[in-house]
Each structure stands twice: as structure tokens, then as C-alpha cells.
Structure 1
Amino acid sequence: MKNILITFDSTNYAIQCEAVLKEKGIKGQIMPTPREITKSCGISIRVDYEEIENIKGLINDGKIKVKMLYSFGEERIFEPIL
């Protein structure tokens, strides 16, 4: 199953994003940011890949501020998508 990992420049952006996702009914799970991706904010949010269009819409509408989006599966190979 494919997932999206949302990374942030700050913990505040991660917390704001979590609140927006809950408000929109999008299930997300906070997790530590893998060190191989970035050493900035230590908090990321994982969501199901099927939510990609909803996430992009929230970014484009300025509802959430992200550093990067990555797709990944069970093998945990992170591929940038934004």
C-alpha cells in the first residue's frame, strides 16, 4: 500500500496541518521524519496515497504549508512528489 509522507519546516506547520486534516476528515498519523529525508522538522505526517489530490488542493489553497511530499510503500523508499 502506498502512502504519502508530508514534511514541514517547523513543528508549528505540522500541528496546523494535523488540525486541518482532521477538520477535512483526512486520516493522518504523526511520525518522526526519517533522517535520510531531512534534518529540519522532526515531525512528519503519513496519509494514504489516495488522498494525494486532497493534499495538493489544501497546499494550493494555502490551508497547509509543507516542505515536501514523498510517496513510499512498505519498502520505505521515499520518492519526492512535490
Structure 2
Amino acid sequence: MDGWLVMAFDSTQQALRAEMLLEYAEVDIDLCPTPKEITAGCALSIRFPGHALGAVREIIVSETVEIRGIYSPSAMGYDNIKL
């Protein structure tokens, strides 16, 4: 998958925890404001390259990080990617 994906959270604590875990795993990420098209309880999201989705999914599942979802930009806003 090409381009950037956005991972949204319901709590800042989970966003910061995910940031730490992904940086430790050397996944290329950016902390960014949650896009207004995505309804989430946290104003912080993490952007990462689409090719890293497998590694991100593995870390999220193995470390039981609570996320709102992972989204792909689309013409109408953002589409939720099923994990």
C-alpha cells in the first residue's frame, strides 16, 4: 500500500504509547493532529507509510494498544482499514 496512513486513538495515553513502541521498532512515523474527518477521542494521531502497515498491525496487536482505527486518505475524506 502506497502513501501515508493515519492511526487514530481514543486517548492521548494510547497515542503516546503507540508512538514509543513504533519508534522503538524503527517504524517511520509522524505525530500529527487527528484529521477533522476522523471522529476520535484524542486530538493526536500517528501517520506512517502504507508499506509499514504489517509491522504496525503486529505491534498494535502484540502490545494490545487501543486504537480507534487506521485510515487511508480518499476522495471523500478517510476510509477505515479493517484490521
TM-score by length of 1: 0.86
Structure 1: tracts of 5 or more residues without a match: none
Amino acid of the structure 2 residue aligned with 1:70: Y
Partner of 1:19: 20
Structure 2: tracts of 5 or more residues without a match: none
Question: Following TM superposition, where does structure 1 have runs of at least 4 consecutive aligned residues deviating by more than 3 angstroms?
Answer: none
Partner of 1:77: 77
Contact 2:4–2:72 under 8 Å retained in 1: yes
SS of the residue aligned with 1:36?
A: coil
SS of the residue aligned with 1:52?
A: helix
Amino acid of the structure 1 residue aligned with 2:34: T
TM-score by length of 2: 0.85
